[in-house]
Amino acid sequence: MAKVLDQLAATDFRGIVVAYRDALRSHQDELNRLNVYPVPDGDTGTNMALTLESVVGELDGAEGMNEVCRAISHGSLMGARGNSGVILSQILRGLSDTFSDLDAASAHDVVAGLRRAADAAYQAVLRPVEGTILTVVRASAEAAEAAQGDGAELTGILERVEVAAHDAVLQTPELLPVLKEAGVVDAGGRGFELLIDAFLHIIDGRPVPEPEVVATPPAVEAHLHGEEASSLRYEVMYLLEADDSTIPAFKDTWGALGDSIVVVGGDGLWNCHVHTNEIGAAIEAGIEAGRPAKIRVTDLVEQVEEEEWVRDQTDVGGGDEEAADLPVPTEPVATAVVAVGVGSGVQRLLTSLGVHAIVAGGQSMNPSTAQILEAVQQCPSDSVIVLPNNKNIVPVARQVDGLCDRRVEVVPTNAVVEALGALVAYDPHAPLEANVASMHEAVDRVRTGEVTQAVRDSVADCGPIAAGDWIAVTRSGIRAIAPSAAEAAIKLVEELLDVDSELVTVLVGAEARPADRVRLEEHLANAHPKVEIEVHEGNQPLYPFLVGVE
């Protein structure tokens, strides 16, 4: 029988955080499927898990309560992702700030830590909403205080907190109508409940509950289909180096630009999150206050659409069966490669060029650090290169090197067509450094773009865009608007080609019309007879044409 703890030493607090990370990993899919508020983008579990991955990464080498608490506080601030991750970072920081000057945390200290965590979470949100993780952490703090008043010890206090947290999660639909309409509880609150389970797991050895949700409820599917998408399309996040005195005015400015506003931190460094339609203004507010860094912008509408597509492919095996049957290289090599991509054709191409493991993901559908780490550990080499194939996945991929005993380097590809160019330069028998250098050079030679369809009216430098228009997008932004995918692809190719171009690579998407493909190929053959043309079935979602020019 496991020993029951009556206080928490540094190793115990560290163990709680690691157990919580593991619990979020196993419940990640459940939490994603519950996620309908504030935007039904299906990423709460992913964001909470990634936030804890960052925290656990910071714990390496930390000894003693003060070092452990500093690592947890810093890791949660720097690694927080999404609305739920940023709020969770404040909860962890509240606990860490309470424990940091102690040799061991008593029952009294745990109660104080939960109160501090709840207060910090509420203070971080500009417009707190009940029926969310905020409600659950507040109910937990109140239950802890009541249990302490009744004379309970550490285990008894946390058992009361566990019940209160669970009851608060079950009550979230009564407080937030969007949850009741969807028939789900709040995803963030459910994720916080697992933290209490992790406490009890370390204190007396009881198991962490298994995931409960195995199928997405019909009402949530409707949300994930974008039928009730928020009018605020973009999620903007960045770290802000700014004097603490500038933050109240900064929050006021953001308050006029959007919602789901969370600003956390202190002592000159802040993690900032907002949903808005004013990307430029949201970033400019940070520039006025200080210096924003690690800016990340996510299109919430595209995220919903692609998350559903990827889930359909991975959950029921649709579309990628042929790719799954391809022989993956298993012989030991000097340098192995992991790549991110979706679509059976894309995966076939990556595998045929020597990729050892493929992680499902792409534009707006970002895989977790844990998923990339698992792929790296499958590779038959102690040296691994990761090709993220999307700018938002690059920072996630860079976390992997510190989480395993292999040497991991990221070649920061922003598109699959860049990865194809990099893989042509890849030599599995060459050392890691040589491959990284040659693949970087190959990526630098590729100019990329994509064709997709506008889902809403908007305006770009090239003119007004109506919902349903086809647009050509390069690294510089939206470069052309057209009434058909073929015309947009032709305009894209002309934008990317120059007099020195030798090769055009086109990946044809799952929804591309055969007539559009024929028209694009005919244009390339007639207008650029001296340029080599490679057209492949990519079967990627949302983008009928991905183009690379070298």
Give residue-wise pLDDT tens across range 217-229.
554 555 445 444 4
Q: In terms of pLDDT, which residue wins out, 126 or 251?
A: 251
Per-residue confidence band for 471, with pLDDT thresholds at 50, 70 and 90: very high
Query: 3-class SS at 88?
Result: helix
At residue 226, the pLDDT reads 47
Q: Give 123-145 pLDDT, tens digit per residue.
A: 888 788 899 999 999 999 999 99
CB-neighbour burial class of residue 435 (10 A; exposed 0-12, middle 13-18, buried 19+): buried
Residue 198, pLDDT > 80, answer yes
Phi and psi at residue 267, to the nearest 5°: 55, 40
Instruction: Give the separation between CA 17 and CA 97, rounded to whole angstroms.
Output: 15
Residue 538, pLDDT > 90, answer no
Find the mean pLDDT for residues 414-428.
Answer: 92
119-123, 302-306, 438-442, 543-547: range with lowest mean pLDDT: 302-306
- Do the beta carbons of residue 386 and residue 352 sit within 8 Å? no
Per-residue confidence band for 72, with pLDDT thresholds at 50, 70 and 90: very high
E strand or H helix at 256, and its extent? none
Our measurement of the distance from residue 362's CA atom to the centroid of its chain's CA atoms, rounded to an integer in Å, reads: 11
At residue 320, the pLDDT reads 42
Residue 68, pLDDT > 70, answer yes
Complete DSSP assignment for 274-325: EEES-HHHHHHHHHHHEEEEEEEEEEHHHHHHHHHHHHHHHHH--S-HHHHH
Per-residue confidence band for 475, with pLDDT thresholds at 50, 70 and 90: confident
At residue 454, the pLDDT reads 83
Q: Give 274-328 pLDDT, tens digit per residue.
A: 888 888 888 888 998 999 887 877 766 655 555 554 444 444 333 344 444 455 5
Instruction: Give the separation between CA 417 and CA 407, rounded to whole angstroms.
Output: 25
At residue 322, the pLDDT reads 41
At residue 323, the pLDDT reads 41
Per-residue confidence band for 74, with pLDDT thresholds at 50, 70 and 90: confident
Residue with tokens 């349903």: 468
Q: In terms of pLDDT, which residue wins out, 14 or 213?
A: 14
> Per mean pLDDT, which of 38-42, 308-312, 383-387 is the most reliable?
383-387
Find the mean pLDDT for residues 230-250.
Answer: 84
At residue 267, the pLDDT reads 84
Our measurement of the distance from residue 205's CA atom to the centroid of its chain's CA atoms, rounded to an integer in Å, reads: 31
Q: In terms of pLDDT, which residue wins out, 300 or 26?
A: 26
Task: Give percent of the chain with pLDDT exceeding 90.
Answer: 46
26-40, 62-76, 176-190, 405-419: range with lowest mean pLDDT: 26-40
Find the mean pLDDT for residues 201-205.
Answer: 94
Q: In terms of pLDDT, which residue wins out, 99 or 283?
A: 99
Task: Give percent of the chain with pLDDT exceeding 70.
Answer: 89
Domains of the chain, CATH where assigned: 10-210 (1.25.40.340), 234-301 (3.30.70), 316-444 (3.40.50.510), 447-549 (3.30.1180)
Find the mean pLDDT for residues 337-348.
Answer: 88
149-153, 167-171, 442-446, 471-475: range with lowest mean pLDDT: 471-475
Average pLDDT, the chain: 85
At residue 256, the pLDDT reads 78
Q: Is the pTM higher than 0.75? A: no
Query: 3-class SS at 263?
Result: strand
